[in-house]
Amino acid sequence: MFDGRFRRSVEVVTTPIGRGLVRAGFSADVLTGSGLVFACATAWAIAVGLHWGAIGLLTLTGFHDLFDGPVAKASHRVSQRGSFFDSVVDRVSDAVLMGGVAYYLTAHHHGQLVLLPFGIVTASFLISYQRSKAESLGLSAKGGLMERAERMILLGVGLLTSAIFVPVLWVMLALTTMTALGRFARVWRAADRPTPVEPRFHPRREHVRRRRTLSRASRH
**Cβ within 8 Å of residue 175, ≥6 positions away:** 145, 146, 150, 154
Q: Which residues are catalytic?
A: 90
